[in-house]
Amino acid sequence: MTTQEMKIAFEQAYGHKAEKIFFAPGRVNLIGEHTDYNGGSVFPCALSFGAWLLVAKNNDRVLRFRSMNMQEVYEIAIDAIAPQANRAWCNYALGCIDIIARRHPEAKLESGYDLLYYGNVPAGAGLSSSAAMEVVTARAFTEEMGVSYADDKKYRTELALIGQACEHEYAGVMCGIMDQFASAQGKKDHAIHLNCDTLEFEHVPVKLEGIKVVITNTHSPHHLDSGAYNDRVRQCHTAVEQISKVKPIKFLAELTEEDWKEVESAITDPIAKKRARHVVGEVARTSAAVEALKKGEIAYFGELMTASHVSLRDDYEVTGPELDALAEAAWQVEGVLGSRMTGGGFGGCTVSLVKDEAIEKFKAFVGAEYEKKTGLKADFYVAEIGDGVSRLE
Ligand code: ADP
Ligand code: MG
């Protein structure tokens, strides 16, 4: 799909031309899983997949929502913006417009708008099509509503916060900040080392000579549902409470692996102990992985990715048979430096570092093993690390 084709679709849908086009990417997290809500760091990068948004003003004081990916069409009066029932897809956009108005007293929605979305992030694969949609909407409507920032980094962080608030309030998902942040602050050929507590971050070049980041989609119907997610959040809180009797902490991510040896016996709940052990280990692995990448120690980076998967499988228990089948097959392929689940877990994707010459073998072997074990067909994408949100035209 080219932007030219999107413009034609816009004109066919609305009978007039689009005035502007925006793009925001999906993301893949290289390492640092389930650390974000524990005050830890994450290491995602923006992809070249994402969401496009074409907009033009209308004279009708309504917001018209269409998506080239969806059947449903919505029309909402600009004076009646509120969450829509039945998991309406327009919530991911409408919420951003509402939140811009609430966070920025100077913001004014002066007219109605016609909107057309197109997305090419594989659906429900944990590569954050929702964040792409939110961030592209936040980018477009901050501009349309007259919100501006002198500092581009601060502007992008604000776009991420608008998107996250939308996801909480309009989609009912109490997500961390990683997805929207990566979509807003992405940089071509760089990953983002983000502290999810302070929102301090650094762009780290991803220089992988002769190696590619390969994303493999389980196409599994399983998801980390909000129940299982909230259980993990609660178990981590239990661990914090019990540890705080011997060493007061706010977040598990404050603990080093040395600290862990001293405090682990304070956790009496065995499940909470496993969850906490994952978080402490994952925080250490994420820092080590960032250092390894900076030094060009890609083999070590890969080992840390694999160790991350093992910990998510055994201690955090969020992998499931499909993600395990993919990772375990990948580890057997010569030329694979590391492989792990990425995103919340249970379904979604793995991310692997694969030498160029091994990619075809990787696809053939992992694809066949996966189908043998699960009866499902996997899909493979060689990731291109792209820029964050922007206005294209
Ligand atoms: P993901 O892991 O891809 O973010 P989510 O379940 O969080 O999965 O978000 C997917 C939802 O986001 C879709 O069900 C739909 O409501 C909305 N969405 C994402 N991309 C688009 C799009 N291009 N057009 C319309 N809605 C979209
Ligand atoms: Mg999402």
Q: What is the pLDDT of residues 93-123, one digit of tens each?
A: 999 999 999 999 999 999 999 999 999 998 7
Tokens, residue 332: 């057997």
The ranges of the chain annotated as CATH 3.30.70.890 are: 211-382
Answer yes or no: pTM beyond 0.85. Answer: yes
User: Is the torsion defined by CA of 286, 290, 292, 298 positive or negative?
Assistant: positive
Spacing, Cα 123 to ligand 1 middle (Å): 7
For residue 375, how many other CB atoms are within 10 A of its CB? Answer: 7
Tokens, residue 244: 């705080």
- The reported pLDDT for the residue numbered 228 is 87
Spacing, Cα 76 to ligand 1 middle (Å): 19
The ranges of the chain annotated as CATH 3.30.230.10 are: 3-205
Q: Which atom of ligand 1 approaches the CA of 173 most closely?
A: 7
Pocket test for ligand 1, best of 71, 115, 129 (most atoms within 8 A of CB): 129
Nearest to 140 by CA among 95, 96, 82, 75: 96
DSSP state of 114: E
- The reported pLDDT for the residue numbered 72 is 98
Whether 252 contacts 38, CB under 8 Å: yes
Burial class (CB in 10 A: 0-12, 13-18, 19+), 178: buried
Indicate whether residue 38 lines ligand 1 (CB < 6 A): no
Q: How far apart are CA 144 and CA 183, in angstroms?
A: 20
Q: Which atom of ligand 1 approaches the CA of 348 most closely?
A: 2
Q: How far apart are CA 268 and CA 324, in angstroms?
A: 29
DSSP state of 333: S
Q: Is 36 known to be catalytic?
A: no
Q: Is 39 left (phi over 0), alpha (psi -120 to 50) or beta?
A: left
Indicate whether residue 43 lines ligand 1 (CB < 6 A): no
Q: How far apart are CA 371 and CA 177, in angstroms?
A: 34
Q: How far apart are CA 301 and CA 293, in angstroms?
A: 7
Tokens, residue 152: 């581009």
Indicate whether residue 119 lines ligand 1 (CB < 6 A): yes
For residue 205, how many other CB atoms are within 10 A of its CB? Answer: 12
For residue 290, how many other CB atoms are within 10 A of its CB? Answer: 21
* CATH class for the region spanning 211-382: alpha beta
Tokens, residue 105: 């007293």
Whether 119 contacts 52, CB under 8 Å: yes
The pLDDT profile of the chain, 393 residues, written as one tens digit per residue, is 999 999 999 999 999 999 999 999 999 999 999 999 899 999 999 999 999 999 999 999 999 999 999 999 999 999 999 999 999 999 999 999 999 999 999 999 999 999 999 999 987 788 999 999 999 999 999 999 999 999 999 999 999 999 999 999 999 887 889 999 999 999 999 999 999 999 999 999 999 999 999 999 999 977 777 788 889 999 999 999 999 999 999 999 999 999 999 999 999 999 999 999 999 999 999 999 999 999 999 999 999 999 999 999 999 999 999 999 999 999 999 999 999 999 999 999 999 999 999 999 999 999 999 999 999 999 999 999 999 999 999
Kindly identify the ligand whose nearest atom is closest to the C-alpha of 125: 1
Q: How far apart are CA 253 and CA 274, in angstroms?
A: 14
Q: How far apart are CA 31 and CA 127, in angstroms?
A: 14
Q: Which atom of ligand 1 approaches the CA of 67 most closely?
A: 24
Mean pLDDT of the chain: 96
Indicate whether residue 90 lines ligand 1 (CB < 6 A): no
Whether 166 contacts 92, CB under 8 Å: yes
Whether 37 contacts 229, CB under 8 Å: no
- Tens digit of each residue's pLDDT (9 = 90 or more) over 243-275: 999 999 999 999 999 999 999 999 999 999 999
- Contact residues for 88 (Cβ-Cβ < 8 A; gap 6+): 72, 74
Spacing, Cα 286 to ligand 2 middle (Å): 22
Among candidate residues 36, 98, 179, 315, the one labeled active-site is: 179
Domain 3-205 fold is Ribosomal Protein S5; domain 2 (3.30.230)
